[in-house]
Amino acid sequence: MSGTGGANIYEQGLDKTGANFEALSPLSFLARTADIYPDNLAVSYGEVRRSWSETYARCRRLASALSARGIGKGDTVAVAGRSSPMIRIWN
């Protein structure tokens, strides 16, 4: 690391800005990724392929269905199922 005095070169002169930093929760990650890479592959399981925009739209529909049943921000929702990205949400 010549010239940096042993400091990490990736931590120098890079103040956090909207161009290089975005604090992401799982939900904001999904929305941001669907916005930036809508047609990129998000889910690949067997023969099933889903883009980020398809995945985000499906998550929004699920959230809307939960909301219609009175489930809201701060409520806990659990899913019990086998380890699969499908969990019957694509049917």
Q: Tens digit of pLDDT for each residue in 10-58?
A: 677 777 777 677 777 888 899 999 999 999 999 888 888 999 999 999 9
Structural domain count, the chain = 1
Residue 46 belongs to some domain of the structure: yes
Residue 34 CA to residue 55 CA, distance in Å, equals 8
Query: Which residues, in sequence order, are CB contacts of 77 under 8 Å at separation 6+?
Result: 66, 71
Residue 52 belongs to some domain of the structure: yes
The torsion of the CA quartet 33, 36, 39, 45, rounded to 10 degrees, works out to -20
Q: What pLDDT does 37 receive?
A: 95
Residue 1: pLDDT above 60?
no
Range(s) of the domain holding residue 31: 25-71
Residue 34 belongs to some domain of the structure: yes
